[in-house]
Structure 1
Amino acid sequence: MVGSFGSITSALSALRYQQVALDVAGNNVANAATEGYVRRTVNGVSVSSAAPALWSVYDGHGDGVQVGSVERQVDPLLDARVRREHGSLAYLQTTQTILARVEEGIGEPGDSGVYAAMLDFKNSWQDLTLEPGSDAARQQVIGSGESLAQALRLQVSNIAGEEADQRSHLLNLVSEVNDAAGAVAELNHNILVTEQNGTDAGTLRDQRDLLALRLAELTGATVSVRPDGQFDVVVAGESLVSGREAGTFVLASGVTPTGDTDGSPITFRVDASWGSTVLGTTPGGKVGAVADVLTTTLPAYRAGLDALAADLAATINTQHAAGFDLAGAAGGDFFTYDPLVGAASLQVAISDPALVAASSVTGGLDGANADALSQLGHGLDDYQKLVNGFGSRVAAVERQTANQAALTRSLDSAWEQQAGVNLDEETVNLVTAQRAYEAAARLLTTLDEVLDTLINRTGIVGR
């Protein structure tokens, strides 16, 4: 009798365990498409009978099964690697997006770019050599010169517009970093309290993992796990989240709160209860990409345009001053250029075709000075080097991005195999749990019949 009632307990434990298994498998299926969801598995533990009393004999074989744990299928090492590679990919993709947009604005090679305008300007001087007295040819020189200056000013305007957009973008990214850091600190607290109360915190852990991944994509942040399970987040060597507390990620210099430049290099700072520290290096991720583009890439290209415009103005003005205009007066400046403003200030200084100094002798129309002007380089080689250098930088980033994307996809695939929900596998788990539940129920039915026979029919034969 004792053994029979013990079997009922075993069957009951099986029903309860398989019910949990069904619930977990069903929850996995329901969240198969939920971003950041980590599949759960049930670990069963065999229940052993209590130690028998002295001199007693135990002839049982265990008292059933119980749920040992419901575990999230995570690999901390794989998670750390995924965060690191996603941070690197975010840096490269952001850089590629910005540079590709700038390259599109440069418009080279093309019929409306700066290079084409330089060729037109050079050719207009050659045409004037053939007809030095022609007002149309002289006006063409002025018009092509203004087209060249306008093309250069347009490129500078595009660069300045991109810089303004990226400064605003950087402010938004900094705000997003602080929101995510605060949420991680809050989840650290909530997870700790929840698990201390004996409640499963798997969903909260899923949310925290997503936020940690987002911080890695934003700043290249790294995560360390405390013995009590809380996350500590470090950005560029400085602590941003420490347990239940989060610091404030701040743009220390380079960009004003309104999105303007303050003329100084871009730096970052973390303000927290444990101190205020300026980051010694630029963060990674999207924040680092935008900061690097604003600090080095775009300023370097604009400086190249400024140097090109300055050299063009100086070269043309020097040769133009060596000739004589239609009235026989010495030529003046053909371009105006302000070195404090740069290429954005380049303009044609004359509007009267008669002031074009095409001649090399006073009172003559030999066109020799126009020929000398047509022989000048007009910045063609320097501009080509500048554009080719920028294009090489864009191509290099594209290659790096493609390689990093392949590596990241490989890690994502490994993570998906580890933590993702496989519907076929979960279907098998559901069927297995269902059949085990049915078997446990059948065991109860059998035991009920056995006990009915023992209790109600034993000893009634012959009555």
Structure 2
Amino acid sequence: MSTFFGLNISRLGLQAQQKSLAVTAHNIANANTPGYSRQRAQLTTTNPLPYLNGEGMLGSGVVVAEIGRIRDRFLDTQLRQEAQTLAKWETRHSFLSQVEGVFMEPSKTGFSSVLNAFYNSWQELSLNPESSSVRAALLENGNAFTNAARHTNEQLKAVRSHMAEQITAKTEEVNTLAEQLADLNRQIVSLTAQRNSPADLLDRRDNLLKELTKIIEFDTVLNDNSSISIFIAGRALVDNNLNFRITTTAGALDGDWTLSPQPVWERDNQPLNMSNGQLAGLMETRDVLLRSYMEDFSSMVWGVINSVNDLHSTGMDLYGTSGNAFFTGSEIETLQVNDLLRNDSGLVAASMAALPGHSQPAPGDGGNALLIARLRSAAISIDPLQPDVRLRATLDPAGLTTFTNFHRDNIARLGVDTRESERLAENQTSLIGMLRQRQDSIAGVSLDEEMANMIQFQLAYQASARMITAFDEIYDTLINRMLR
């Protein structure tokens, strides 16, 4: 056993406490760094040596085995899963709120008010069929109806376009994050193989996973070499240092609705299967909810257009002629009041072609205008299986709703869906808040705890230094004084 054995033990003690103090300083410096996990120097004894002049083994000191993170992997996985669900509901609520802003119901400028004003004009015309001012007011309200229909349709399409842009942008963001994660995997594997601690790189990887969690639903597998593999519905997005790209394609037609853009795997154009995350929220909101609101709105508008045109074309104007449609246009984008009527209000067919019991028409009566005004409360049927939204809403005495009520039901359903999304997002936010508190209590930096550790390591360092002083005195006695 070397005479300097005790000195070496003290030296190892100094080094171990010095590294522990450095880790403590690193924790304190990053106390406010987002996503930082507190680190600990894991101390372990060195291999003992046989005691040559007696029985047993003699300890040989201490070393820092590794600098590890304090982290709960199960809690991390749970947080990611709940965050994916939150991202879906927040995305859904955000876009449904935009749709609510488009309809502006109930309000004086909402579509229901415009439609009621249009019907009221026909009611007024039935009482004053020859009044030019009443006819002008009708045409003005007819223009307001088509303008509102076009504007609402344009705004809904703008929301849809915004969602399409977001789908494309989020898809590219997934690719960027996957590339960065694969690169971090490579660095972590390299450091681990060299028996170096990649704690800060692991934090960086977790932060990237946190960003990816918001966008798409995925599962992770921790590999033996400390890399992770990321799977979307069982298909690899990241595998060790490899990443696989996704892209968007022009989706297929589903009736009149285009499922585009559609996220797919770049390698084989297979669609991504996901139920949570921002991408899932965007896809579901666009292709299920927004589609239903837009199609029901279009069905209602075309139902009004068709029913008014049918009655108007069979009525008679002030000149005794009939056959003109009140509205023209084959798409909502081209809807307008017939130019012939706008140029000559006398062509508005307020009269019936012939009064009951008479063979001759009566241009001055308001019977046809009254029939059109009564469309406000006319029973209608909706055929959701009709592929052409322009033909879904039809007059039907056995129908269970009206054009106005059908629109109100559509708006009410939108309100229910929006409030549900908001409530579920709030619930998820509360749950994630509790989980993050637990995570912070485990992985977060406590300055009080770090200060206590600093004092502990400082005292241990001083004690090791004092041992070196003691051994120095022993060696001085042994070397210098015994030679006198």
Comparing 369-378 with 229-238, greater Cα deviation is found at 369-378
Q: Corresponding residue for 2:387?
A: none
SS of the residue 2:284 aligns to: helix
Aligned to 1:112: 109
Normalising by structure 2, report the TM-score: 0.86
* 1:445–1:58 Cα change, 3 Å: farther
Q: Distance in 1 between matches of 2:463 and 2:406?
A: 83
Q: Could you tell me how far 1:12 is from its partner in structure 2?
A: 1.8
Q: How does 1:93-242 map to 2 (within 5 A)?
A: 93-242=90-239
Shift in Å at residue 144 of structure 1?
0.7
Indicate conservation of the 8 Å contact 1:4/1:447, yes or no: no
What do the CA deviations read for 1:192-214 (whole angstroms, capped 9, x no partner)? Answer: 11221232211221222222222
**1:287 and 2:287 equivalent?**
no
Deviates more, 1:156-165 or 1:355-364: 355-364
Secondary structure of 2:31 counterpart: coil
1:365 and 2:356 equivalent? no
Counterparts of 1:283 and 1:243, CA distance in 2: 25
- SS of the aligned residue for 1:43 comes to strand
Q: Does 1:18 align with 2:27?
A: no
Quick one: distance in 1 between partners of 2:56 and 2:189? 43
Equivalenced residues, count = 446
For 1:268, what is the secondary structure of its paired residue? strand
Task: Check the 8 A contact 1:253/1:268 in 2, yes or no.
Answer: no
Of stretches 428-437 and 169-178 in structure 1, the one that deviates more from structure 2 is 428-437
Displacement, 1:6?
A: 3.5
Long gaps (5+) in structure 1: 256-260
Q: What does residue 345 of structure 1 align with?
A: 334
C-alpha deviations, 1:99-139, integer Å up to 9, x for none? Answer: 11121121111111101101111111222233222111111
**What is the alpha-carbon distance in structure 2 between the residues aligned to residue 408 and residue 106 of structure 1?**
33
Q: Is the 8 A contact 1:185 1:245 kept in 2?
A: yes
Of 409, 434, 437, the residue aligned with 1:413 is 437
1:66, distance to aligned residue in structure 2 (A): 1.5
| Range that drifts further, 38-47 or 20-29 | 38-47
Match of 1:258 in 2: none
Match of 2:348 in 1: 356
Q: Secondary structure at 1:224's aligned position in 2?
A: strand
The 1-side partners of 2:458 and 2:251 are apart by 63
Q: 1:266 to 1:282 in 2, by over 3 A?
A: farther
Q: Can you give the 5+ residue segments of structure 2 that lack an aligned partner in the other structure? A: 356-360, 378-402
- Structure 1 letter corresponding to 2:327: F
Given residue 321 of structure 2, which amino acid in structure 1 is its aligned partner?
Answer: A
Looking at structure 2, the residues matched to 225 and 252 of structure 1 have their Cα atoms a distance apart, in angstroms, of 32
Please tell me the root mean square deviation across aligned C-alpha atoms, in Å. Answer: 2.4
Which residue number in structure 1 is paired with residue 422 of structure 2?
A: 398
How far apart, CA to CA, are the structure 2 residues paired with 1:31 and 1:196?
Answer: 26
1:28 and 2:27 correspond: yes
Structure 2 residue matching 1:33: 3-state secondary structure: coil
Supply the AA of the counterpart residue of 1:108.
E
CA contact (8 A) 2:82 2:428 kept: yes
Question: CA distance change for structure 1 residues 59 and 452 in 2, over 3 Å: closer, same or farther?
Answer: farther
CA distance in 2, matches of 1:58, 1:253: 80
Matches within 5 A, 1:47-86: 47-53=46-52, 56-57=53-54, 62-86=59-83
What letter corresponds to residue 263 of structure 2 in structure 1? F
Secondary structure of residue in 1 paired with 2:63: strand
- The within-5 A match list for 1:369-380 is 369-377=368-376, 379-380=403-404
Partner SS, residue 132 of structure 1: coil
User: Identity of paired residues, percent?
Assistant: 27
Deviation, 1:457, is 4.8
Aligned partner of residue 224 in structure 2, secondary structure: coil
Which residue type is aligned with residue 121 of structure 2? S
How many Å separate the matches in 1 of 2:367 and 2:334? 29
Structure-1 residue corresponding to 2:388:
none
Q: CA deviation at 1:328?
A: 2.5
Match of 1:439 among 451, 455, 463: 463
Q: Distance in 2 between matches of 1:199 and 1:370?
A: 87
Question: 1:266: how far off?
Answer: 5.0
Matched to 2:69, the amino acid is R
Q: Give, in angstroms, the shift of residue 72 of structure 1.
A: 0.9
Per-residue deviation, residues 217-240 of structure 1 (Å, max 9, x unmatched): 211111111122221111133211
Alpha-carbon offset, residue 318 of structure 1: 2.1
In the alignment, the residues of structure 2 paired with residue 252 and residue 129 of structure 1 have an alpha-carbon distance, to the nearest angstrom, of 54
Compute the displacement of 1:451 (Å): 4.3
Deviation at 1:270, TM superposition (A): 2.2
1:327, 1:354 within 8 Å by CA — same for their partners in 2?
yes
Taking the aligned partners of 1:391 and 1:207, their CA distance within structure 2 comes to: 40
Residue 50 of structure 2 aligns to a residue whose secondary structure is coil
Task: Tell me, in whole angstroms, the C-alpha distance in 2 between the residues paired with 1:49 and 1:281.
Answer: 56
Distance, in Å, in 1 between the alignment partners of 2:427 and 2:194 is 46
Name the structure 1 match of 2:43.
44
Match of 1:430 among 448, 451, 454: 454
Name the aligned partner's letter for residue 133 of structure 1: E
User: Partners in 2 of 1:376 and 1:167 — Cα distance?
Assistant: 37
Q: Is the 8 A contact 1:282 1:291 kept in 2?
A: no
Alpha-carbon contact 1:78-1:415 (below 8 Å) kept = yes
